[in-house]
Chain A
């Protein structure tokens, strides 16, 4: 198991190098940091000195190596827009995005999986049909529209929930959490639903179709012929067999949540990474953008690792290789 994790981490290195290259190339070729930092009035000597300071007079690959080395140490440079270290900005914004994405993911799983199981078993029930129609709405409406509709109904018309911001947060050294205050939790509801809606309906439809497939399988028929109870068959035999594809998609989707969070954070003025990115793109704040790119790549690598570990936990057929490798039986 340990060897497996190590090998997976080693495989991630080229991925991160390539992403680092892209984000560095963005750094080097998009926009002109020198002119941005110098402003309007400068002498040629000042310009040459800044170019030297930034290392821009060195060969491309030396610059790339420097960039990766700095990145490895968590140094992403200075934001052009805010004139503060990018790493500080990200550390400030990260908790908001992580809490939002986590809540949305948990919501999507806790509601999506049971609804998928239910609609897969009771294919023709009235409630199952209602769920399916609802899921169609969730899959087809764009995220920003869901957000705006929710704001309109629950914030503007009913006035039940706040329409923007994160509410009050509690600080623990670097981390700020909205989970511990009433206003923080109330502020989380609409953005989390908005962000999780697509994933939830996707998970539901996926679980449903996998369930229907598995319930037709020979081993489920055989389980019935052995006289096992419906509960054991549905949840022990059928649901477990839907898990491998579901884990795959959910893993990808949780990565996708971060992407969608850009839209959601913009709609709800949620002070997270997505909003930071949108604000940075507006003024071509390249250091922030490239740091964001690296971070997302890291998140995807992490999620892939977790997905692989979950495969191992669920499906014994995937453990064969490991046994062969270690000679264990």
Chain B
């Protein structure tokens, strides 16, 4: 059984002009110690997926269907009091912008200590000692002297290291990192990813890594999920998805990446734009932009289908219609 199972997760926003379905039957698993990369255009639903898993959807957003299971136990329907000990302790989170994720009024040591003491039985002294060790582990120089420093006394990269320490200090089994380097200077992005990768490996932590950077995915992830308009359109081992993408949208994304070795490639623009949530077309959500669209794509919605080494939500891989598609 996988550590995390996301099963047909559906998230909706009731609005004045009807219900917006922002995530539509999203399913994937994350194994113990596995790094799952999640890519997709802005607005595809990557952040919402993370928020729904840790139960921090902003109202009026709500889980309208499906399940999230941790070790086989449902966590999507837990009360606030029963979800709280899971956050931080079972599932940690790293946010995008380290300049805004740390409380400016508390020293970093205080924030580490309060996080550990919320989950672990630790005396003040032990917690402080551990806080120093965590700061050392994420590479803060002179950690013992800087433990009482405030967030504004650190650079952006150093603050993101502190955020990583905070996300990991209660030893969660899964950490959701939502674009952890997007707000950082390009020169330090690689360091942060390397650090995250190393820590996850050392502590046996699984990672859901949301990023725009295909190079990072290629180097870091074991598997990749590609999201489009609130759905997963392709998911599979990283090599297969990067080298032989099955879904036409993934193909478009990967089109600009010459090889695994040449990194720091951004997602390539595909003609057209992702549809707004209130205007998702019938059938396959990608059909207005798809170069290989055919009749069935506009009528029926494709589920994830086996496509070589990956699985893709595309009718090209349906045993019945796939054959016809080549004629169209």
Contacts from A to B (Cβ < 8 Å) = 217-219, 221-230, 232, 236-237, 240-241, 314-317, 320
Which B residues lie within 8 Å of A232 (CB)?
114, 118
The answer, among B80, B93, B114, for a CB contact under 8 Å with A225, is B93
New A-B contacts (16) at CB < 8 Å, excluding given A226-B87, A316-B107: A219-B101, A219-B103, A221-B56, A222-B93, A222-B166, A225-B87, A225-B88, A225-B93, A226-B118, A226-B170, A227-B87, A227-B115, A227-B170, A229-B118, A240-B105, A320-B153
Q: A226-B115, A230-B80 are in contact. Are A314 and B105 (CB under 8 A)?
A: yes
Q: How many residues of B contact A (CB 8 A)?
A: 32
Cα distance, A232 to B85, chains bound together (Å) = 14
Tell me, yes or no, whether B100 is within 8 Å of chain A by CB. Answer: yes
Which A residues lie within 8 Å of B56 (CB)?
221, 224-225
Cα distance, A315 to B150, chains bound together (Å) = 10
Cα distance, A230 to B103, chains bound together (Å) = 15
Cα distance, A302 to B50, chains bound together (Å) = 50
The answer to whether A228 and B95 touch across the interface, beta carbons within 8 angstroms, is no
Cα distance, A219 to B153, chains bound together (Å) = 17
Tell me, yes or no, whether B140 is within 8 Å of chain A by CB. Answer: no
Which B residues lie within 8 Å of A223 (CB)?
103
The answer to whether B84 and A227 touch across the interface, beta carbons within 8 angstroms, is yes
Cα distance, A237 to B106, chains bound together (Å) = 9
Cα distance, A224 to B80, chains bound together (Å) = 11
Which A residues lie within 8 Å of B92 (CB)?
225-226
The answer to whether B95 and A218 touch across the interface, beta carbons within 8 angstroms, is yes
The answer to whether A241 and B85 touch across the interface, beta carbons within 8 angstroms, is no
Cα distance, A221 to B95, chains bound together (Å) = 9
Tell me, yes or no, whether B89 is within 8 Å of chain A by CB. Answer: yes
The answer to whether B93 and A217 touch across the interface, beta carbons within 8 angstroms, is no
Name A320's closest neighbour in chain B (CB-CB). Answer: B152
Cα distance, A168 to B167, chains bound together (Å) = 62
The answer to whether B150 and A316 touch across the interface, beta carbons within 8 angstroms, is yes
The answer to whether B101 and A222 touch across the interface, beta carbons within 8 angstroms, is yes
Cα distance, A217 to B104, chains bound together (Å) = 11
Cα distance, A236 to B101, chains bound together (Å) = 15
Consensus secondary structure, chain A interface: helix
Tell me, yes or no, whether B219 is within 8 Å of chain A by CB. Answer: no
Q: A218-B97, A317-B150, A320-B152 are in contact. Are A227 and B105 (CB under 8 A)?
A: no
Cα distance, A315 to B103, chains bound together (Å) = 11
Minimal beta-carbon separation of A242 from chain B (angstroms): 11
Tell me, yes or no, whether B246 is within 8 Å of chain A by CB. Answer: no
Tell me, yes or no, whether B119 is within 8 Å of chain A by CB. Answer: yes
Minimal beta-carbon separation of A238 from chain B (angstroms): 9
The answer, among B85, B106, B153, for a CB contact under 8 Å with A227, is B85
> Which has the most chain B C-beta neighbours within 10 Å: A230, A314, A317?
A317
The answer to whether B102 and A219 touch across the interface, beta carbons within 8 angstroms, is yes
The answer to whether A317 and B152 touch across the interface, beta carbons within 8 angstroms, is yes
Tell me, yes or no, whether B6 is within 8 Å of chain A by CB. Answer: no
Minimal beta-carbon separation of A216 from chain B (angstroms): 8
**19 A–B contacts from the bound complex (CB under 8 Å):** A218-B95, A218-B100, A221-B95, A222-B101, A222-B163, A222-B166, A224-B87, A225-B54, A226-B93, A226-B118, A226-B166, A227-B115, A227-B118, A227-B170, A237-B106, A315-B105, A316-B150, A317-B104, A317-B152
Which A residues lie within 8 Å of B170 (CB)?
226-227
Tell me, yes or no, whether B20 is within 8 Å of chain A by CB. Answer: no
Minimal beta-carbon separation of B30 from chain A (angstroms): 17
Tell me, yes or no, whether B184 is within 8 Å of chain A by CB. Answer: no
Cα distance, A219 to B110, chains bound together (Å) = 14
Minimal beta-carbon separation of A282 from chain B (angstroms): 50
Which A residues lie within 8 Å of B95 (CB)?
218, 221-222, 225
Which B residues lie within 8 Å of A225 (CB)?
54, 56, 87-88, 92-93, 95, 167
The answer to whether A219 and B86 touch across the interface, beta carbons within 8 angstroms, is no
Name A221's closest neighbour in chain B (CB-CB). Answer: B56
Name B97's closest neighbour in chain A (CB-CB). Answer: A218
Name B90's closest neighbour in chain A (CB-CB). Answer: A227
Name A216's closest neighbour in chain B (CB-CB). Answer: B58
Cα distance, A241 to B115, chains bound together (Å) = 18
Which A residues lie within 8 Å of B105 (CB)?
240-241, 314-316
